[in-house]
Amino acid sequence: MERGLDCLRPGEGGIVTRVDPALADALARLGLIPGTTLRCLRRCPLGDPAVYRFRATDLALRGRDAAKIRVSSVEAADAPRDDSPGREDGNDP
């Protein structure tokens, strides 16, 4: 199932399938390219922006921009590998 990154709930993971060309360059520099596994860590108290974690990076994106990134779901078992420091299961209570 493919959907916008903004639809990810805190704690949910996804694999990036497509990035809108308007954002692609800026995000590729940070390592966010199609194929990247990421996870939504939390939303800000006012609901926006949300924080996503990939490749040991925590990046905040607004819903408006996140909607331009498509992700496919991952099974819980394939959720982001816990192979680097900084990755953990923190999300909104």
List contacts with another protein (CB under 8 A): 22-23, 25-31, 33, 35, 41-42, 44-49, 51, 55-62, 64-65, 82-88, 90-93
Q: What is the DSSP secondary structure assignment for residue 49, as one 8-state letter?
A: S
Shorter beta-carbon distance to another protein: residue 25 or 75: 25
Shorter beta-carbon distance to another protein: residue 1 or 83: 83
CB of 14 to another protein, least distance (A): 17
Shorter beta-carbon distance to another protein: residue 3 or 42: 42
Cα Rg, the chain, nearest whole Å: 12
Q: Residue 64: count other Cβ atoms within 10 Å of its Cβ.
A: 10
Q: Give the DSSP per-residue string, 19-35.
A: E-HHHHHHHHHTT--TT
CB of 1 to another protein, least distance (A): 25
Shorter beta-carbon distance to another protein: residue 1 or 85: 85
User: Between the CA of residue 34 and those of 14, 20, 72, what are the distances in Å?
Assistant: 11, 11, 10
